[in-house]
Structure 1
């Protein structure tokens, strides 16, 4: 069991902040929290109880988004971060609620666990940005209406409706030609959904209802829309060397650009998806192998390359098939950190209830996946895109699977007989805000003394 303490950052580190922006909260209350006050903090642990010497354990660097950090393992021992093994000198991204187990060697039993906790931002740190935008500058040049589900193309950075540009893209691919921007006719190399402009689009429609389109028009646009993850375009308009054959000059984006696999090889106009997991490329294809997670609309390449018979190699990054699997094929042995809104007290209660029932976590999840499949559960509050379309055969990424497990275990808890709860847990009063309570994330006493696995009776989530 290790305990740590933070030290001041080196002289060449980022500018420090006197306020505590995050903490490492130990699972054992006998140990104190490790406070992170600088943008780059070195965490040390005692070499022995009687020794005054310290050894470097990890370095935690605050990321630019201010809500996550980079964990750098400074020791040779393995560290388990959100169920992922981080070896010596490797890094991992941690977010609020991430679980860190130093000195990990097996099942992690008996080791001190830490929870990474981001502190609420000070009011003085919050800035409000007001943007004034003429509606004429927020219109798609294809349909001449205000954007709907806006996408942005690069490098020209013009914006269009998702449905409008998807249809433009489809027709360009049928001609096997370069995809040109409908507005400026420059060659499009990239297209992706623009969530920032989507928020502005919603504000414009709320301010002027006359700009809003009919439900029938929106339905038609949505039926055309095919851009869910960022797409990378291949283009033949490149400067060619006179001495190099044309087929050798074409950019090789993925394995199938260079070699044919499973009867398929990319052509010069093939559109590629960038994997969210490894950053590698794969051709965007409408085949039977899913390439995008239905829960988050992000692209993952593991299932596709596995179906093509392509093994992992050094030349092109490829995810393992385990990163993108059908729900029914997943095996869960540990409680995902998403469960019960990352409230570790509620997670411990659920685990003890499952043990009292003489069951296993996997058995409970399988049972409730079947109930979800049979439409026995209300999916209104499932925090995923296209929640109503998810089945046991749906491919999901690891993050979305964790959210599905959280959803299922919520229903397991609220329908479970009270006799399986410990006396201490059963005597707690329900929190007014239920699972949507924000206080449970930064107030340990409140998280422990109130039941948060319940429906809110106050607030906007009722």
Structure 2
């Protein structure tokens, strides 16, 4: 054995022995250590021994952290005895999901610390153990700066903002060069690349530039090459001529006046005329050759001369975002509203679907309604983040949260399982309720403390759910599971508390928590 990885969380992984020159960790079963958490990359990291020195190579997307500092994908660093390694950012996962290790060398002395004594976790005295625990707590200032990385991205180039600009009124941010190229390819400067909102003005985002500068100081490895920076400066027309892009209102008024003059003679004076009538709304028709046409109200069609010249409806222009592609038997028209994918920012059609339609197309989370392109397009440039998943695929990650509802109820559930795997709860609910279409996720004041909105969604195996809401869904599955066993399991037969799952007394009064059942809905409201 060359070295050890002493686990910092027994719930997520056991301690590991490194007994080979190249030791790989990741979600793929071919790794030397397989981690089943879906936020772990397929080949997350590797630890290599080269010339009497250990190095760590980060191959992950969600990040590998050495002593609280993000290493960065593709980077290689030296690790030494006593270093703390985290597989995922500790501030973005629950406590029971933290995957962390202390690196302990057995036979190899780090070249930077020739005088270090080789110690194991069991040999640490109280002061040393306190130092190790202190290392787990990150420097708050650096943490906040690291978290800015996702917020400082340009949705066009998917890299950090450079010479940032802000679009009014939607307030989306882009690189000056990226937006300049986008506007240069448009016939009219009238739409935001992200949400297609008409652009009224563009401003230089000085605050965003300052934040990017601070973020780059903490992440120098993410800085663009000098040649690329020079190229982007040349392409940034907005910074060179800001007055031209400050206001498009004059252009819009001219266009609106032209359109008004063109259509004025065709406007109806009929009092019963209603341009919101469904008969005049957009109706998509797919002909045998899969070309999409639009049958829509057009004032020019009321002109007899035009009617004689135009006998057939012309095909509409193809969508710029989808390049005329047909996705899930649907092709966008040129006025289709789009929305950015929550994972990668790629634009997808914003279609208003009911729960059954979304179960087929799988475009957005059934709970929070956030859009994701993973299943709609069949891939996602950042699919490794697993932003969207199907209910039938979350079974392997099913885990009862530590102290679920309260520590008494948590221990009752563990005693009920008698050492069996936690996903037995998931399999039971899948077999008896979810597969049969009899399970509903309910969010209201009876089941959640101060819910932002009431939700009642039917959950099936193919229902899509995002990575944030899937934990909320798993908790609700456990909640309903205990209620199913209430009359068949003596452990759950206590009298229900009037305030149920939202009871505040249960957390500070253990006698109250032991006496009453809190895995139930609130029935009394003050």
Q: TM-score, normalised by structure 1?
A: 0.39
Higher-Rg structure is 2
Q: TM-score, normalised by structure 2?
A: 0.35
